[in-house]
Structure 1
Amino acid sequence: MKGTLYGVGVGPGDPELMTLKAARLIRENKIIAVPGADPQDTVAYKIAVQAVPELSEKELLPIYMPMTHDPEELERNHAKGAQTLEAHLEQGNNIVFLTLGDPCVYSTFSYLQKRVEQDGYHTELVSGITSFCAAAARLNIPLSEWNEQLHIVPAVHRLDSTLTESGNYILMKSGRKINQVKEILAQSNHDVMMVENCGMENEHIYHSVEEIPDDAGYYSLIIAKEKKNSHD
């Protein structure tokens, strides 16, 4: 009997935002995979171990997932990661793979999931609170109301266009290209807010484009809400 690979979302940063299901799966399984060369140094582990102290006693499986746009390097590491996971699944062991936020939204886990499934193994996804929902709650605002559209954009990959669609925008992974993102936002008709490191000890909140620093970190999420007078 082969094991099951679970892609488990641990939420955005606050350990209290982890789901009961995520906590249960961590407790019930002995092998916990973490995206990083040193599992205990990863953000996902540091979040989860606060909610589930038993995690510190589990067998940790490091899966190195480099932050690169080089397709060959990505391919090589995804293949290596899948092989590492499959070696344990083949022995009948379940694996809980911890991933930030929700595994269904821009998660590197999806690349491993596809490979492992193609090789004949069973996978399951366990939803977690997304970074943009947590950031909106932290700002105490709704993301969208009534018939407003909501656009989710990975800013690091999409800087070739202005925010021309009607509705509100979520710009994810903005940190590395923050200067270009700020230029686009300054030209748009939106009220802009940003949460950096949402739910973590080093969290920062910014309420305008002008407040956003040029050296914002990788975990910076921007919410741009269309100004109500834009169609007057």
Structure 2
Amino acid sequence: MATLYGLGVGPGDPELMTLKAVRLIQECDIIAVPKSGQSINVAYTIAKKAVPDFEQKHIVELDLPMTRDQQKLEQSHEAAAKQVTDWLDEGKNVAFLTLGDPTIYSTYAYIHKLVKGKGYPTEIVPGIPSFCAVSARLNDSLTEAEEELHVIPASYTGVEEALNLRGTKVLMKSGKSISEIKQLLKKKPDQFTVKMVERCGMEGERVFDSIDQIDENASYFSVIIVREKK
């Protein structure tokens, strides 16, 4: 029976794609990529650089808008899942590409649950998460010894409370909230060290080594690492 594969293509650098992800892209009949309104699909761009003859594959964009309108989200997820199950019914294996890792704030997770819930075979293939790539780019660890690690969706409510958690805080999905986050962190200059990488491993990558350096107009693809000062 045909299978849906949720493939993590990593954070940006095509050399960080796994061998398994490359092999499955080469073997699958359909390559699905999310269409979110961006002019360039990042997952597509990464895979194109890592997989020989990628553009010769049958590549289909699934309409998955970036919105918080719950009704629109559910409708788009149902429609995408229907397209996937139609392909599976035809005996075609489907590789759904997702930036980073499919289990971390990924649109794919919603499609996966719907398709799996209908009884179709599904498999998740992990990719390197953006915050691990960012930590490596900063040439530093995320945690040591008993330190805790907290991954926080920074464009949602509760960020100020989350900053009081012990250990390292990873602020993802910062987007338009970077200015607000910056002001919150500046209230505690003696408590944290703050660094950020924008577009890690992609064209236009920028590294910010302090809270004062951080560009408040940085792109959606920005990850902030907040560590407690020793």
Q: Distance in 2 between matches of 1:85 and 1:197?
A: 30
Q: Distance in 2 between matches of 1:84 and 1:142?
A: 41
- Aligned AA for 1:187? K
User: What is the root-mean-square deviation of aligned Cα atoms in Å?
Assistant: 1.5
TM-score by length of 2: 0.95
- Aligned AA for 2:144? E
Aligned length: 227
Deviations 1:7-50 (A, max 9, x none): 00000000000000000001111210001168993100000110
> Does the 8 Å CA contact 2:131/2:170 hold for their aligned counterparts?
yes
Note if 1:200 corresponds to 2:199: no
Alignment of 1:48-197 (within 5 A): 48-162=47-161, 163-188=163-188, 189-197=191-199
Deviations 1:24-77 (A, max 9, x none): 001111210001168993100000110003210000121111111110110110
Deviation at 1:157, TM superposition (A): 1.4
Deviation at 1:172, TM superposition (A): 0.3
- Aligned AA for 1:68? T
Corresponding residue for residue 226 of structure 1: 228
Corresponding residue for residue 28 of structure 2: 29
Deviations 1:86-118 (A, max 9, x none): 110111111000000010111110000111111
Corresponding residue for residue 7 of structure 1: 6
- Aligned AA for 2:145? W
Percent identical among aligned pairs is 49
> Does the 8 Å CA contact 2:36/2:65 hold for their aligned counterparts?
no
Q: Any gaps of 5 or more consecutive residues in structure 1? A: none
> Does the 8 Å CA contact 2:37/2:65 hold for their aligned counterparts?
no
The verdict on how the C-alpha distance between 1:40 and 1:27 changes in structure 2, with shifts beyond 3 A counting, is farther
Deviations 1:136-174 (A, max 9, x none): 000000000011011110101134534111111000011
> Does the 8 Å CA contact 2:149/2:167 hold for their aligned counterparts?
yes
Question: 4+ residue stretches of structure 1 with deviation over 2 A?
Answer: 37-41, 158-162
SS at match of 1:125: strand
Deviation at 1:180, TM superposition (A): 1.0
Q: Any gaps of 5 or more consecutive residues in structure 2? A: none
TM-score by length of 1: 0.94
Deviations 1:121-150 (A, max 9, x none): 111000000000000000000000011011
Deviation at 1:187, TM superposition (A): 2.1
SS at match of 2:105: coil
The more displaced of 123-132 and 27-36 is 27-36
